[in-house]
Amino acid sequence: DAGVTQSPTHLIKTRGQHVTLRCSPISGHKSVSWYQQVLGQGPQFIFQYYEKEERGRGNFPDRFSARQFPNYSSELNVNALLLGDSALYLCASSWRRSTDTQYFGPGTRLTVL
């Protein structure tokens, strides 16, 4: 079975622009979570979606939004990009909404100039 996939792998944007990142979970997994990892730090939780509904949100501004589609894939949107949004964005999937092993995708590296 394929693992978690993410696209694109790399992205360069300028301040003020908008970006959309995509994630496809492992087949059969219904939960998708998004994490942001800035250089030198561990990943930080942004969102969790389960059965197409937002089930959790981390301490991120409203410029960050996400959604989950009927096939359980997900998009993360970031508006009005700031330099500080430059990071590796990781998607994780799991079968259950609650405590479960999470599997991560390869990430999207976003650079904001």
Partner 1 sequence: GIQVEQSPPDLILQEGANSTLRCNFSDSVNNLQWFHQNPWGQLINLFYIPSGTKQNGRLSATTVATERYSLLYISSSQTTDSGVYFCAVERDGNNRLAFGKGNQVVVIP
Q: How many CA atoms lie within 13 A of 6 on its CB side?
A: 25
Which residues is 31 bridged to in the sheet? Answer: 50, 94
Residue 111 binding partner 1, by CB under 8 A: no
* Helix segments in 5-81, DSSP class H: none
Residue 70 binding partner 1, by CB under 8 A: no
Cα 69 from Cα 83, distance rounded (Å): 29
What minimum distance in Å lies between the beta carbon of 68 and partner 1?
14
What minimum distance in Å lies between the beta carbon of 101 and partner 1?
5
**Residue number with CB closer to partner 1 (38 or 80):** 38
Exactly one of 19, 21, 26, 31 binds partner 1 (CB under 8 A); that residue is 31
Residue 25 binding partner 1, by CB under 8 A: no
Phi, psi of 11 (to 5 degrees): -155, 135
Q: Which of 68, 108, 63 is nearest to 88 (CA)?
A: 108
Contact residues: partner 1, CB under 8 A: 31, 33, 35, 37, 40-45, 48, 55-56, 58, 88, 90, 92, 94, 96-107, 109
